[in-house]
């Protein structure tokens, strides 16, 4: 009798393994951090072998911590940090270089050249993405051009490329399976999200041989069996972390939207079978589907400085000792007292896209103190998320009913209520904030019939806290006006016009 699903949740800083039961409850968790390598300023790397070892150890420990027999595991699901790029030799199994992490900016110049050469429209029409160093394509190109012998070996068919899901699956299957899913492929800047295949013209432009690329399948799919602790277990899902969270939050229908409030915030709206092209700098990406389902799309936007502004209050301003204290402090005052913080520490993202803007605090008076600053910092997380939501509303004309929230900062009730007020939307937080891992478990469970359908999955997600708007339309407009004036101030303080960096 199969009783469990095992999810591998491979993030940017740690590899986790989580075992879920039939009710979607977490039965066991094991986690191992791995090293962040910074060989040069703006370069970020991971050691792929270390990631695999840490992931394998976490899987083994998650089982050993309980009395679960591996034969009771119905399926494995994989969810992972997206875009991070590994290139390895298929004969030796050795990576030819470290994994180049999504945060790494080393290919910025190459991206600027692609923009100058006029590829922006082609790339956004084909892949749904803005040309950026963030995505895998230019990272593969960098490895092939900078590692001795790599280009010739790639042309000879000896090298394979994978995002971390693909690398883990290849390793777990003893080099037998070289595959990924649509959600990860849609972050490579090489994948045609309409035709669901790698685009030959982009492979030519980036000089990447097709033989390096993995097979691409829907997220809920039988990828193959692996041997683990004496059992043969099928790997039945792969999904990039944000799309997995969208699924784990039960956002199955057009218009369903989730926001993950972590260090940054990731907002995704399910747009059903329509791939909307954003007029506001959002990204169009593939969402999770099963075999025989037509493709589903999502609009995605991110807030660069989300929970990080609370870390800044704690570590730099030292006005709080713990993140949770921000809520108590914010509740000490009934308004922000006219104070707005725009945490544009490294510029402003969507919908402003102003990389020269810098952080600003506006509206200070002699009476402004710690409570007003704490409140303004939490409000800034919500205002930035509202800017993305209003872009999504404008791009899709789809009405937004509920925002499903997860991530560490979603524990903050002040923030959740303020988001509801400022966005005029119901905000709902599930009991388990493990939406990312749960999404991959749901997808794997559907594939093997562990769970029957999406309505059964919805019955497993229990809402814990829910927040409804409590302010008037006039009050909301006044607050948003204040925020947008503060954003204009941050933009006016152009770091390249002196006084900046
Ligand atoms: P990540 O996955 O990006 O590491 P997490 O989901 O673990 O992030 O959330 C951590 C972030 O959330 C930190 O930036 C922290 O400052 C913020 N955070 C955690 N708890 C709270 C809280 N109660 N109130 C506000 N922010 C919080």
Please tell me whether residue 422 adopts helix, strand or coil conformation.
helix
Ligand 1 mean position, distance from CA 11 (Å): 15
> Which ligand 1 atom sits closest to the C-alpha of 406?
6
Q: Hey, CA dihedral for 60, 64, 67, 69, is it positive or negative?
A: positive
Distance in angstroms (rounded) separating the CA atoms of residues 417 and 375: 12
Distance in angstroms (rounded) separating the CA atoms of residues 365 and 256: 41
pLDDT number for residue 497: 66
Side-chain half-sphere exposure of 48, counting CA atoms within 13 A: 26
Distance in angstroms (rounded) separating the CA atoms of residues 408 and 179: 31
- Measuring from each residue's beta carbon to the nearest atom of ligand 1, which residues come in under 6 Å? 262-263, 307-308, 310-311, 323-324, 326-327, 407-409, 411-412
b/e string for 275-289 if b means 16 or more Cβ within 10 A? bbebebebbbbbbbb
Per-residue pLDDT of the chain (501 residues; tens, 9 = 90+): 889 999 999 998 899 999 999 999 999 999 999 998 999 878 889 999 999 999 999 999 999 999 999 999 999 999 999 999 999 999 999 999 999 999 888 998 999 999 999 999 999 999 999 998 889 999 999 999 999 999 999 999 999 999 999 999 999 999 999 999 999 999 999 999 999 999 999 999 999 999 999 999 999 999 999 999 999 999 999 999 999 999 999 999 999 999 999 888 999 999 999 999 999 889 999 999 999 899 999 999 999 889 999 999 999 999 999 999 999 999 999 999 999 999 998 788 888 888 788 899 999 999 999 999 999 999 999 999 999 999 999 999 988 889 999 988 999 999 999 999 999 999 999 987 789 999 999 999 999 999 999 999 999 998 789 999 999 999 999 999 999 999 999 999 876 665 544
- For residues 343 and 359, the answer to whether their CB atoms sit within 8 Å is yes
Residue with tokens 């989730």: 258
pTM attached to this predicted model = 0.92
Ligand 1 mean position, distance from CA 307 (Å): 5
| Two tokens, residue 347 | 């510029």
């Amino acid at each position: 009798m199969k009783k469990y699903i095992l999810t591998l949740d491979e993030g940017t800083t740690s590899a986790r393994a989580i075992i879920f039961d039939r009710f979607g409850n977490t039965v066991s968790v094991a986690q191992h951090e791995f090293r962040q390598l910074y060989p040069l300023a703006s370069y970020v790397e991971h050691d792929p072998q270390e990631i695999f070892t840490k992931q394998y150890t976490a899987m083994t420990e998650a089982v050993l911590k309980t009395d679960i027999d591996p034969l009771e595991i119905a399926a494995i699901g994989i969810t992972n940090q997206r875009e991070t790029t590994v290139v390895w030799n298929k004969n030796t199994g050795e990576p030819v270089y470290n994994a180049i992490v999504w945060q790494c900016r080393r290919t910025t110049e190459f991206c600027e050249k692609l923009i100058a050469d006029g590829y922006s429209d082609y790339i956004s029409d084909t892949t749904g993405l803005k040309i950026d160093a963030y995505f895998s394509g230019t990272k593969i190109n960098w490895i092939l051009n900078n590692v001795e012998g790599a280009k010739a070996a790639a042309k000879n068919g000896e090298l394979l490329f994978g995002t971390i899901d693909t690398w883990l699956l290849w390793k777990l299957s003893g080099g037998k399976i070289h595959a990924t899913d649509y959600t990860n492929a849609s972050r490579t800047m090489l994948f045609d999200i309409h035709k669901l295949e790698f685009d030959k013209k982009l492979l030519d432009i980036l000089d990447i041989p097709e033989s390096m690329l993995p097979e691409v399948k829907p997220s809920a799919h039988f990828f193959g069996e692996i041997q683990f602790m004496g059992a043969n277990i099928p790997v039945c899902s792969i999904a990039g972390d944000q799309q997995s969270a969208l699924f784990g939050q039960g956002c199955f229908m057009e218009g369903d939207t989730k926001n993950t409030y972590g260090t940054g915030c990731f907002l995704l709206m399910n747009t059903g079978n329509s791939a909307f092209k954003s007029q506001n700098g959002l990204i169009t990406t593939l969402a999770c589907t099963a075999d025989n389902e037509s493709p589903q799309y999502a609009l995605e936007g991110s807030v660069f400085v989300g929970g990080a502004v609370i870390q800044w209050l704690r570590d730099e301003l030292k006005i709080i000792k713990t993140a949770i204290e921000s809520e108590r402090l914010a509740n000490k005052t009934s308004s922000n007292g006219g104070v707005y913080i725009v945490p544009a520490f490294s510029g402003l993202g969507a919908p402003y896209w102003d990389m020269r803007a810098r952080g600003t605090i506006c509206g200070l008076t002699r009476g402004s103190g710690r409570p007003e600053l704490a409140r303004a910092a939490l409000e800034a997380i919500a205002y930035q998320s509202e800017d993305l939501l209003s872009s999504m509303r404008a791009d899709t004309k789809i009405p937004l009913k509920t925002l499903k929230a997860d991530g560490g900062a979603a524990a903050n009730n002040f923030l959740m209520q303020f988001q509801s007020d400022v966005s005029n939307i119901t905000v709902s937080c599930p009991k388990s904030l493990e939406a990312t891992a749960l999404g991959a478990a749901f997808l794997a469970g559907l594939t093997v019939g562990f769970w029957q359908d999406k309505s059964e999955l919805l019955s497993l997600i229990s809402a814990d806290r829910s927040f409804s708007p409590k302010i008037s339309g006039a009050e909301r407009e006044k607050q948003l006006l204040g925020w947008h004036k503060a954003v204009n101030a941050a933009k006016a303080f152009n770091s390249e016009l002196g006084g900046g960096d």
